[in-house]
């Protein structure tokens, strides 16, 4: 079975609240997380030191067990590099 293209293989969080993402198909895209920061679930990420702890978890991007972003959304809402 092939890995879906939207699976996040690598993430590089940046201090401007963007994520440089590498997807399963090798595409590199930038996701702007700033619009999410107004939602209560993402409020902890307003602290840039917390935001910079983003990690690829084998499928998507997460910060802990409570905060992650759907990989399909990351893929669809990101801009190619």
Rounded Cα distance, 25 and 37, in Å:
28
Domain residue spans in the chain? 8-80
* Predicted confidence pLDDT, tens digits, the chain (81 residues): 688 999 999 999 999 999 999 999 999 999 999 999 999 999 999 999 999 999 999 999 999 988 999 999 999 999 999
**Full-model pTM:** 0.94
Q: What is d(CA 68, CA 44) in angstroms, rounded to the nearest whole number?
A: 12
In this structure, CATH architecture of domain 8-80: 2-Layer Sandwich (3.30)
């Amino acid at each position: 079975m092939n890995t879906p293209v939207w699976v996040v293989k690598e993430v590089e969080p940046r201090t401007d609240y963007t994520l440089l993402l590498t997807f399963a198909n090798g595409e590199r895209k930038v996701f702007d997380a700033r619009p999410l920061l107004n939602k209560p679930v993402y409020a902890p990420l307003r602290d840039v030191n917390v935001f910079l702890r983003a990690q690829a978890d084998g499928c998507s991007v997460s910060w802990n067990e409570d905060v992650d972003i759907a990989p399909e959304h990351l893929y669809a809402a990101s801009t190619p590099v």
